[in-house]
Structure 1
Amino acid sequence: MFIEYVGLYALLLMTMTHSATMHVSDAAAYPVQLQVWVYLGVSLGIMVLLALHNFRGRLIHLGVVLTVASVVLFNQYMERLMAAINWSTFVLTNNLLLGVLALIFHAFEVYEYSSMISQEAQETMAHGSSIFHKAFFRIAMCPVLISIDFFMTPFGTHVNKEYYQSEFNRFQGPTYIAVLVYVVAQLTNVFSDTLNLYVSVLLTLILWVLGLQLLEVHPTVGYVVPMMRDVVMDVLRFFAFVAPFLCAYTFAYYILFQSVGAKVPPGYTSIPRSFRTTYLNMLGQVDLTPFNELPAPYEYLLGHALLLSQGTVVVIMLINVLIAMMAKTVGDGLKKAKTAQQMAFASCVLRSEKIRGLDLLEKNDGETERCPMMHQHPSWLMSRRQRSDCKLWRTTCTGSAAT
């Protein structure tokens, strides 16, 4: 299930990136996007199809042969394909596939979200237990609940707290809904060029960042993800402390350079520009020309005094405090991060199990039965001894049914 998820998510990233860089036009051609689609898209499609059969040995060899053959074939006929293709149809097809993939991932989130709600609560909210009521709950109510939970994030509370124990879950559902809205807008040409630019850039950025969750299951890199969460919190605490200093120097520079009359430097003509210049000064991008052009002696001395004090207070003191905080977080939190990585790995496996479902064993009379161990542990989380016990139980059940 995880390999299928990775392949589908890679396809989602590829189609979203292509959609952000293409638009429907009779005069436009996108040869680079087509080549990426042909080579990478076909390979990912083969990987997803193989994952449906659990990557058996023969299928892996078949997949390698098909991938190499498709690359050679497309490379041989790429020029003919570019000459024959309708670029508007190519863009529309890419957007349609993007919508289908976003719908699939949204269905994954809905299934995971609903799996953490008890059956009694689902029946209560859907006012029934029939197939129609269950479909209504997942299709209509779950997306609404996910959206409500997302907007309740600033208040620190959620309707489904178990689902939002993962930081990635806070953004996945709303992001996939936004992608669906974006696809509909692309197909109907509702968005203006400016709005389309902002939405496509934002969605592409969010989807690529959300791809970090795929690293949580890696045995040697996965612990870095929870550690980075702690580092991000250190950065947020740092900016909460440094914000008053940035605002103070922003207004000080703005007032100083407004006093020179008509010769106001471009970086200080307004408060937003003054804030940007002050922030860049904190990062070392200092332009001394406006300060050297200040009238002597008072404005000149005041400007350089402000600049030197900013370098001392913000750059030397506060940034070194941030470095010390991050060093302490990384040093003290290494063992904690590895433990959190194991918990994140278990959570990812559990999510895959909930989406995939547990296999049922067939009895002689046609009924189905689960291994008792499966009620306590998902199959991927069981130890080798537990798997052996479950396999022995399955063998015993089969032998009993045969006798």
Structure 2
Amino acid sequence: MRFSSNANVGATYHGYGRRDEIGVMIEMTPSEPSTTFLAPRDSESDDGNDDVAKPFPPSQRGYENDLDTGRPTFRHTTSLQQEAAKDLKLRELEAFAAKLDGCKDYIALIAGAFRGKVRNSMLFSLLHNDATAGMDEWDRDVIQNEKKKLLQHPVMRLIVILKWRAFGVRMFSEQLLMHLLLLLTLTVSLTISLGTIQGDPKDDPDGDKEFKKIAGSWLCGTALLLLSLLATRFLTWQNKQACAWATLVLGGCAITAIFLNLDHLVELCYSDAFVNLNNGLVSLCAVYFCIFELRELAADYPDYAVFLSGDSLMYWRLVHVPTHFITSIYKLVCTKTPSPYLESYWNRIQLPLFLLVLVYALCELWTYFPFEMCVYLGIPMHFVLCLMCVQYLEAFRDVGYLLPMMRRMLTDVFRYLAFYLPIQCGYACAYYLLFKSQGENLKPYKPDEDFADNFNSSLSKIFPGANTTDETLVMNLLEILKTKDSNDIFQGYETVPKSFLTTYLVTFAQINMEPFNQLASPAAYVLGYLLLVTHATIVIVMLLNVLIAMMDKTMGAHMDEAKLEACVTFAECVLRLEKTTTSAISDEYWGNLNMDKVENLYEEIVRADANEKRDDDAVLDALALLGANVDDLEKRA
């Protein structure tokens, strides 16, 4: 860009650069202090290229002058404030990294990570971006990348592992088992409420057989899950294998006893007490998760807010925390600034969903939930609960990296839809108009001779007195029976929405050829098959391969980053569990820690990083050697 200015050539200006959405440097007038300015252009640069811009020399004007609110260009000084805030945050992260480096030689210094409050912990400050809410997207990305690097620090990973062993593994196991229990009981409750069991189980043998399967699955699953939940109360990192074996043995004994007395137990399930017991378990599970989410939400407030409010702790949790949840949603929708709790996409749906489950269970206990509500709310509610099981994979290293990868692949799908939807809509409308216009212009039925002979002989056997000697009469009857209605022939294309769905299934090779074969007009016949051939070629051959190529590129380009984000999601899982614990648990665990084992664990982390780095260096050296050999072969050729 070139601009004219009344300033003298060589005048100094304070320059700042920024980028637009596509990463191009934007340069404004010299009167705008938040830009990078171009100096007058020379006819030829030093390297022989003409029309090359040179930057002005740095300004000697003070930073305070740029922030003068009385200046007419103060509308551009916001970027200066954001730049200062970013620099301040980066300096804080540098100090944070120095603190972690200081713990390398003396591991006992990390005791503060266990004895401090959650909001003041190092993990909380690294995983929440509330301090960078007013910055540009690029500045936030820079800070978040620095935070992710700090989460990879050996000392930070040691802290996360110790917290996982202190309370994470027990609480994670408990929460997972409660979620499975909620899914089991809600499935049985919806099955009974929606009347999927045909007939009375007491009188109908088929209904009794189906109910026996449901009751048997409920008895075995509930017994095993309740025993597992009981075992989690005694679960620690040291005795996890013993608890697992004890649970398997006791669970196996309980399931064996249930199968030996299954008929008697199923008879007890015929009563309303079974339905009430199941709905009671649903409500208890929903209350458990509501309390869990509210305690995590309450961690957004600093602890001193309880004392500043002047109210009791119970009043604060029952009034201030729900109010904070509502205001957080308002800020998220209106100002796009999520609270620490709502930064997680899962948290945005979990609390409303568990409240809905609680309302459903209470209605089923006191009265019947409306049938329409069970269909239109119960089924989606059950589906989302099943979908939420995916979030528990973040604690497993082998599959945890796939969660951030799935988000990137969903982005590829949305980009693919930008090409696919116009083509899909065009073909859906074309098929609808074609078959609607040819509804009465169908090919006449031409019976096969062998089929006609078999039909004639069968007709004489079924109706002995019928006159089957008249072939014309028999053929007319056969034509009437075999001729279909136009709505049956063109089924799937009666309306535009049905045509859209039928056309969408072509993507998965679900093609019905009968409507095209019944077109009588040669022009309509050719047009129909031309549409079908081009549709299959464009969608199946071209667009699907484009989507596969996009996903393959995403997998290859972001695999290392996804593994890094897997560490972040695991740390978020630990922090989410830490928010619902008390500091006494961490203090007790830290007091019982063997520092020799902690130092050994830290050394294992450092050695693993060193081995991984050596492996990466070996791969890079091999690639460099391969490239050199290829270059040598090209030169010889």
Check whether TM > 0.5. yes
What is the Cα deviation at residue 208 of structure 1? Answer: 0.9
Q: Which digits, 9 at most, give the CA deviation of each residue in 1:97-120, with x for residues without a partner?
A: 111101111211111122123346
- SS in structure 2 at match of 1:355: coil
1:318 to 520, 523, 543: 543
Deviates more, 1:290-299 or 1:182-191: 182-191
Alignment of 1:150-299 (within 5 A): 152=333, 157-160=336-339, 162-262=340-440, 263-264=486-487, 265-299=490-524
Provide the rounded CA distance (Å) in 1 between the counterparts of 2:225 and 2:366: 29
What is the Cα deviation at residue 21 of structure 1? Answer: 1.4
Change (3 A) 1:192 1:370: closer
Q: Which amino acid aligns with 2:214?
A: Q
Deviates more, 1:53-62 or 1:66-75: 53-62
What is the Cα deviation at residue 170 of structure 1? Answer: 2.4
Aligned to 1:114: 298
Q: Which amino acid aligns with 1:70?
A: A
2:598 to 376, 384, 389: 384
Q: Within the alignment, does 1:54 sit opposite 2:224 as a pair?
A: no
CA contact (8 A) 1:23 1:91 kept: no
Aligned to 1:69: 253
What is the Cα deviation at residue 387 of structure 1? Answer: 8.7
Alignment of 1:88-107 (within 5 A): 88-107=272-291
Provide the rounded CA distance (Å) in 2 between the counterparts of 1:9 and 1:165: 22
CA contact (8 A) 1:113 1:163 kept: yes
Change (3 A) 1:98 1:142: farther
What is the Cα deviation at residue 259 of structure 1? Answer: 0.8
Q: Which digits, 9 at most, give the CA deviation of each residue in 1:336-371, with x for residues without a partner?
A: 111111110111011111112232688xxxxxx997
CA contact (8 A) 1:291 1:304 kept: yes
Aligned to 1:32: 213
Q: Which amino acid aligns with 1:214?
A: Y
What is the Cα deviation at residue 36 of structure 1? Answer: 1.8
Provide the rounded CA distance (Å) in 2 between the counterparts of 1:149 and 1:107: 23
Change (3 A) 1:360 1:213: closer
What is the Cα deviation at residue 87 of structure 1? Answer: 3.4
Aligned to 1:87: 271
1:350 to 568, 572, 575: 575
Aligned to 2:34: none
Structure 1 unaligned residues grouped into runs of 5+: 363-368, 374-378, 389-403
Provide the rounded CA distance (Å) in 2 between the counterparts of 1:106 and 1:188: 20
Deviates more, 1:184-193 or 1:258-267: 184-193
Provide the rounded CA distance (Å) in 1 between the counterparts of 2:232 and 2:257: 24
Aligned to 1:11: 181
What is the Cα deviation at residue 270 of structure 1? Answer: 0.6
Change (3 A) 1:286 1:123: farther
What is the Cα deviation at residue 3 of structure 1? Answer: 1.1
What is the Cα deviation at residue 324 of structure 1? Answer: 0.6
Structure 2-normalised TM-score?
0.53
Change (3 A) 1:121 1:97: same
CA contact (8 A) 1:147 1:173 kept: no
CA contact (8 A) 1:145 1:159 kept: no
CA contact (8 A) 1:123 1:133 kept: no
Q: Which digits, 9 at most, give the CA deviation of each residue in 1:256-300, with x for residues without a partner?
A: 111113535121111111111110112211111111212322211
Structure 1-normalised TM-score?
0.81
CA contact (8 A) 2:425 2:500 kept: yes
What is the Cα deviation at residue 243 of structure 1? Answer: 1.1
Change (3 A) 1:60 1:301: closer
What is the Cα deviation at residue 37 of structure 1? Answer: 2.3
CA contact (8 A) 1:246 1:279 kept: yes
Q: Which digits, 9 at most, give the CA deviation of each residue in 1:62-106, with x for residues without a partner?
A: 544432332232222222222234432212211121111011112
Change (3 A) 1:149 1:182: farther
What is the Cα deviation at residue 211 of structure 1? Answer: 0.4
- SS in structure 2 at match of 1:27: coil
CA contact (8 A) 1:158 1:164 kept: no
What is the Cα deviation at residue 44 of structure 1? Answer: 1.3
Change (3 A) 1:85 1:311: closer
CA contact (8 A) 1:50 1:63 kept: yes
Aligned to 2:190: 20
What is the Cα deviation at residue 132 of structure 1? Answer: 4.0
What is the Cα deviation at residue 7 of structure 1? Answer: 1.2
Deviates more, 1:78-87 or 1:172-181: 78-87
What is the Cα deviation at residue 143 of structure 1? Answer: 5.6
Deviates more, 1:28-37 or 1:10-19: 28-37
Q: Within the alignment, does 1:131 sit opposite 2:313 as a pair?
A: yes
Change (3 A) 1:121 1:233: farther
Q: Within the alignment, does 1:141 sit opposite 2:366 as a pair?
A: no
> Aligned-pair RMSD on alpha carbons?
3.1
Q: Which amino acid aligns with 1:20?
A: L
Q: Which digits, 9 at most, give the CA deviation of each residue in 1:193-234, with x for residues without a partner?
A: 343123222112111110011111102111112212211221
Change (3 A) 1:69 1:147: farther
- SS in structure 1 at match of 2:492: helix
What is the Cα deviation at residue 301 of structure 1? Answer: 1.6
Provide the rounded CA distance (Å) in 1 between the counterparts of 2:509 and 2:352: 37
